Amino acid sequence: MKEITPSELKVMIDRNEKFQIIDVREQYEIDLCNIGGTNINLYDILNRKMEIDKNKKVIIYCRSGKRSATAINILEKDSEFSNLYNLKGGINQWAKEVDSSITPY
């Protein structure tokens, strides 16, 4: 599975690169903190896979990187995705590396 670090994602954001962010967390978690993107709950990932772009890099994240890794495994097994990247350490690692205003939970 391909991964991207929070610092690498921050560089992509700063460079205005074209990519998609998918947040697979629950709504209450998104309400606590988020880095943007489309919310597609892990349990809906196959039902909503048509919302995921196959033509550009897609960064999938959750709290720690475990659910997003599961989502990627599901998508790569079921579909023809080769452009998915797991945000290593999830939003908690993002808080440590990039944005200290986010409180890890």
pLDDT tens digits along 5-26:
999 999 999 999 999 999 999 9
Q: Which two tokens stand for residue 59?
A: 């960064």
Q: Which two tokens stand for residue 23?
A: 């947040």
* 78: pLDDT strictly greater than 80: no
**Mean pLDDT on 35-57:** 96
The model carries a pTM of 0.95
Closest by Cα among 48, 14, 25, 32 to 95: 32
Residue type, 7: S
pLDDT in tens, 62-72: 999 999 999 99
Per-residue pLDDT, 9: 98
At 15 the three-state DSSP class reads coil
Token pair 């599901």 is found at 74
Domains, in order of start, for the chain:
3-97 (3.40.250.10)
